């Protein structure tokens, strides 16, 4: 083996450009595969960084009547019942969704804090200890307000005070004791968003009314997920439920699976697709290298003939060629690992997508082991073909040919077969990328029923002490609207309880004397009269809300087209009456119908959800927590700063949430679709390049090895177009065959892509035509140089050389 290795090294040193091309081709394929595998392993295969993660589960609520309506949250009341009566768990805990529910006053400044309200076992179930101080204990339940800080909050807001544990911090106008600080990078349910965790205590007002939280637990060793779910479903039926929650049932999931789903509903499919794409790219690279080595074996036919004549057996020749392939693969693998490390670091730095909590993407020992196996596999894939081809050489024929390396018919057919495979696989990738790109364009351009351009939004939460009554809140909102509208560049402003893409709740509805509707799918939004104008939601029938719809006026509502079509099919709903389930007071008169605001469908990533919505006047029931929408003429960043100054000028104790562009907020919905499309497009571009190089190599080899024949044809009267046609036939046959096979493979792939498409069918005619046309165009470019060389052959010089 050592002798073969030394000889292989000498052979490769004599052809540095050939070796460089092969190593670079393999490095790109191996590097891309290793980088993608590091992401797949970090997200899907590596266990969560918690204690005994296989037994960690979470509990969410799903609709029993419509799988597309997912509550996806549990209540604190349900958690208490499960904690008292469920026997499937060692421990169970509860936490709210991280959000700006807490205000912090420090140094005279007031700001929001992204906080999670948590039960006492929140940290003990995952088994993560505090880096400083401690986490919650049972005794803390009787000690008032207690919090645990994130490392980021501790460093940014408390200047990394080493004595922070044990001190008090003012939150929601009360002193809260800091128990500890969590380790750097600790996340649970909220990826990078939580600043602190606040303990739920028995005297917390309204704790049992918390409806947007999550329960999670550690299963007992002998209990399965199915058994736990069956027990909770039975318990849930015994718990008295509010109207808006009675049609849901608990669902128990593995914690890692739910973390993946919360990052993106199609994350698993996305990663599987990317892994398939890079495997195909590597396969194309191996086919390309095999093609190069077959051509090289043909050029070395004289060498093989002499070695055979001197007694070298076929097995020895095969071993020598395999060693050469292994050496090339080893160099390609080493370079590929370097490329993978660079790609992973770039991926982490760029953060193009939000990864699930607990993901660890890195080129570690398991990933390096994968790269080693991949290198060995590629050596076998591309090495066995030229070894088999070279070992079948006919020494006598090759010696009579004078060592010029004339390609046998079998070698030519093998080369053409490899090109056919490259073309077919490349077409499949190009078609898939084209479908995803068209889908992203259609998804991002879909009409949403409102105009999000030039709209910025924020939120405020009025302190109850300063604004205890409805009249106090209304005066503040009216004052705020007046001042916001006076800002230069502001076209209009509005106040609302909810705004897309955050959703509007889910209620049942009674329609006059009709039977009760059991579907909990109606959203409610309390808005100021300017809301529809600021978001440019068109009126279809009736009238909009106005300043006359105040606290003392009749209870009225505007509904959207989705509500009208679902609850009043074929009937004008204006003048009809409705009542939202669980809402006190008189019924509401419908005074108008507006366009439907589309929202992201969190259960189905590539779709927009149309929810029936009832809009009510904010003046008839103002809330402390409200969104502010401002339409600007131009500079949104400048408008954001002006909004902060305006609110601070009215009341400096009102904290202002992050001021964001509505377009940017909704644009996050496109992150995963764009990531899939762009990465697949890059991989398909690489595959197309490799296929073009393979076709170019095939035709160049044909022209070089048949130079004498081409010269003879021209000497006896063949025209240049005849020679060009001959070259075109040599390249065209494998090209067309590859396209035909690729179209069949494409239909198999597009069926897999169906869940990732929007507004484009899996057999989209434009894509099915454009992909082969693009491949043909690239093939023409690849064939241009060999065809030009062929028609430029000097007949006399070619005959003299022959």
Lowest model confidence (mean pLDDT) among 271-275, 469-473, 608-612, 749-753: 749-753
One domain, residues 87 and 203: yes
Residue bearing the bigger pLDDT, 247 or 265:
265
Residue-wise pLDDT for 126-154, tens only, equals 999 999 999 999 999 888 889 999 999 99
Q: At what angle do helices 409-444 and 765-791 cross, to 10 degrees?
A: 140
Lowest model confidence (mean pLDDT) among 157-166, 262-271, 480-489: 262-271
Domain for residue 742, yes or no?
A: yes
One domain, residues 142 and 215: yes
Question: Contact 576/568 with Cβ under 8 angstroms?
Answer: yes
Q: Which two tokens stand for residue 111?
A: 């700001």
Distance CA 140, CA 123 (A): 14
pLDDT of 406 above 50: no
492 DSSP β-pair partners: 631
One domain, residues 286 and 401: yes
One domain, residues 633 and 772: no
One domain, residues 325 and 374: yes
- For residues 437-457, average pLDDT: 89
The values of phi and psi at residue 511, to 5°, are: -110, 105
Question: Contact 295/697 with Cβ under 8 angstroms?
Answer: yes
Distance CA 609, CA 449 (A): 12
Cα-only R_g, the chain: 34
One domain, residues 217 and 78: yes
Lowest model confidence (mean pLDDT) among 98-112, 626-640, 709-723, 729-743: 98-112
In the block, tokens 């029936």 appear at 612
Residue bearing the bigger pLDDT, 29 or 104:
29
Domain for residue 369, yes or no?
A: yes
Domain for residue 662, yes or no?
A: no
Q: How many CB atoms lie within 10 A of CB 52?
A: 15
One domain, residues 580 and 690: no
Contacts of 729 (CB under 8 A, 6+ apart): none
Residue-wise pLDDT for 380-390, tens only, equals 777 676 666 55
CA within 13 Å, CB half, 460: 28
Number of structural domains the chain divides into: 3
- For residues 255-264, average pLDDT: 83
Q: What is the dihedral of CA 597, 603, 604, 607, to 10 degrees?
A: 0
Residue bearing the bigger pLDDT, 376 or 125:
125
Domain for residue 255, yes or no?
A: no
Domain for residue 675, yes or no?
A: yes
Question: Contact 793/710 with Cβ under 8 angstroms?
Answer: yes
Contacts of 532 (CB under 8 A, 6+ apart): 539, 544, 545, 558, 594
For residue 243, what pLDDT is reported? 44
Domain boundary among 246, 280, 300: 246
pLDDT of 589 above 50: yes
Cis omega (within 30 of 0) for bond into 501: yes
Lowest model confidence (mean pLDDT) among 212-221, 252-261, 502-511, 701-710: 701-710
Which helix or strand (DSSP H or E) is residue 542 part of?
A: strand 539-542
- Across all residues in the chain, what is the average pLDDT? 82
Which of 630-669 are b and which e, b meaning 16 or more Cβ less than 10 Å from the residue's Cβ?
A: bbbeeebeebbebbeebbeeebeebbbbebbbbeebbeeb
Contacts of 531 (CB under 8 A, 6+ apart): 494, 495, 496, 537, 545, 615, 629
Question: Contact 390/415 with Cβ under 8 angstroms?
Answer: no
One domain, residues 649 and 679: no
Angstrom CA distances, 57 to 97, 210, 214, stand at 17, 21, 11
Domain for residue 457, yes or no?
A: no
Question: Contact 260/44 with Cβ under 8 angstroms?
Answer: yes
pLDDT of 340 above 90: yes
CA within 13 Å, CB half, 741: 15
Domain for residue 451, yes or no?
A: no
Query: Strand 588-594 vs strand 174-181: parallel, antiparallel, or unpaired?
Result: unpaired
Residue-wise pLDDT for 207-228, tens only, equals 555 666 788 999 999 899 999 9
- For residues 658-670, average pLDDT: 81
Angstrom CA distances, 33 to 52, 274, 285, 542, stand at 30, 9, 12, 59
Whose CA is closest to 736, among 700, 693, 780, 706?
780
Confidence label for 191 from pLDDT (cuts 50, 70 and 90)? low
One domain, residues 481 and 607: yes
Cα first-last separation, the chain: 39
Residue-wise pLDDT for 495-548, tens only, equals 998 887 666 776 778 776 565 555 567 888 999 999 999 999 999 999 999 988
Range of 171's domain?
66-246
pLDDT of 65 above 70: no
One domain, residues 294 and 433: yes
One domain, residues 710 and 740: yes
For residue 301, what pLDDT is reported? 54
Domain for residue 749, yes or no?
A: yes
One domain, residues 413 and 353: yes
pLDDT of 404 above 60: no
């Amino acid at each position: 083996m050592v002798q073969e290795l030394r000889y292989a090294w000498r052979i490769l040193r004599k052809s540095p450009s050939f070796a460089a091309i092969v190593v670079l081709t393999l490095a790109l394929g191996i590097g891309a595969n290793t980088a993608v595998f590091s992401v797949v392993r970090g997200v899907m295969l590596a266990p969560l960084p918690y204690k005994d993660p296989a037994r960690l589960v979470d509990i969410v609520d799903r609709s029993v009547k419509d799988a597309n309506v997912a509550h996806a949250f549990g209540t604190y009341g349900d958690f208490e019942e499960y904690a008292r009566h469920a026997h499937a768990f060692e421990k169970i805990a509860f936490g709210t969704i991280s959000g700006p529910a807490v205000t912090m006053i420090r140094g005279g400044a007031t700001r929001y804090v992204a906080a999670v309200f948590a039960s006492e076992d929140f940290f003990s179930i995952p088994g993560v200890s505090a880096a400083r101080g401690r986490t919650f204990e049972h005794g803390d339940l009787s000690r008032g307000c207690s919090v645990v800080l994130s490392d980021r909050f501790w460093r940014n807001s408390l200047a990394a005070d080493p004595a922070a544990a044990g001190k008090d911090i003012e939150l929601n106008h009360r002193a809260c004791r800091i128990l500890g600080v969590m380790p750097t990078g600790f996340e649970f349910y909220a990826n990078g968003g939580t600043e602190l965790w606040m303990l739920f205590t028995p005297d917390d007002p309204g704790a049992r009314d918390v409806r947007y939280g999550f329960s999670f637990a550690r299963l007992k060793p002998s209990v399965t997920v199915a058994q736990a779910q069956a027990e909770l479903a039975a318990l849930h039926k015994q718990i008295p439920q509010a109207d808006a929650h009675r049609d849901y049932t608990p669902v128990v999931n593995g914690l890692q699976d739910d973390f993946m789903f919360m990052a993106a509903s199609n994350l698993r499919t996305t990663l599987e697709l990317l892994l398939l794409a890079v495997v195909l790219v590597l396969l194309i690279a191996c086919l390309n290298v095999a093609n190069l080595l077959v051509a090289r074996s043909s050029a070395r036919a004289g060498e093989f003939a002499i070695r055979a004549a001197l007694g070298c057996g076929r097995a020895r020749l095969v071993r020598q060629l395999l060693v050469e392939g292994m050496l090339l693969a080893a160099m390609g693998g080493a370079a590929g690992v370097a490329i993978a490390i660079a790609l992973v670091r770039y991926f982490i730095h760029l953060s193009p997508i939000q990864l699930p909590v607990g993901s660890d993407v890195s080129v570690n020992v398991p990933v390096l082991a994968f790269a080693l196996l991949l290198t060995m596999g590629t050596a076998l894939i591309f090495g066995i073909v030229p070894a088999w081809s070279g070992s079948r050489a006919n020494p006598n024929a090759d010696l009579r040919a004078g060592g010029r390396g004339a390609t046998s018919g079998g070698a030519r057919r093998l080369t053409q077969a490899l090109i056919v495979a490259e073309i077919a696989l490349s077409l499949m990738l190009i078609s898939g990328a084209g479908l995803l790109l068209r889908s992203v364009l259609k998804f991002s351009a879909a009409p949403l029923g409102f105009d999000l351009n030039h709209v910025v939004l924020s939120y405020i939460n009025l302190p109850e002490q300063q604004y205890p009554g409805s009249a106090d809140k209304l005066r503040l909102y009216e004052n705020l609207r007046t001042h916001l509208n006076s800002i230069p560049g502001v076209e209009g402003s509005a106040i609302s309880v909810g705004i897309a893409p955050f959703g509007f709740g889910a209620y049942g509805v009674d329609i006059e004397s009709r039977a009760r509707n059991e579907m909990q799918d109606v959203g409610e939004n309390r808005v100021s009269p300017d809301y529809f104008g600021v978001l440019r939601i068109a009126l279809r029938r009736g009238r909009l809300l106005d300043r006359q719809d105040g606290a003392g006026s009749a209870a009225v509502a505007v509904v959207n087209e989705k509500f009208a079509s679902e609850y009043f099919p074929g009937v004008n709903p204006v003048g009809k009456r409705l009542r939202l389930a669980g809402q006190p007071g008189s019924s509401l008169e419908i005074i108008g119908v507006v366009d439907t605001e589309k929202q992201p469908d969190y259960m189905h990533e590539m779709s927009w959800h149309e929810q029936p919505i009832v809009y009510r006047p904010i003046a008839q029931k103002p809330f402390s927590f409200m969104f502010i929408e401002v339409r600007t003429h131009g500079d949104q960043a400048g408008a954001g700063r002006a909004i902060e100054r305006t609110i601070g000028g009215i009341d400096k104790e009102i904290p202002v949430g992050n001021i964001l562009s509505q377009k940017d907020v909704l644009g996050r919905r496109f992150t995963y679709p764009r990531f899939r499309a762009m990465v697949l497009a890059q991989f398909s571009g690489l595959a197309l390049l490799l296929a073009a190089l393979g076709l170019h190599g095939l035709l160049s080899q044909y022209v070089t090895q048949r130079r004498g024949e081409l010269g003879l044809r021209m000497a006896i009267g063949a025209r240049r177009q005849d020679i060009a046609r001959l070259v075109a036939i040599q390249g065209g046959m494998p090209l067309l065959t590859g396209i035909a096979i690729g179209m069949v493979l494409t239909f198999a792939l597009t069926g897999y892509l169906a869940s990732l498409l929007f507004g484009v069918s899996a057999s989209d005619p434009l894509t099915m035509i454009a992909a082969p046309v693009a491949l043909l165009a690239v093939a023409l470019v690849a064939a241009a140089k060999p065809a030009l060389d062929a028609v430029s052959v000097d007949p006399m010089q070619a005959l003299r050389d022959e």
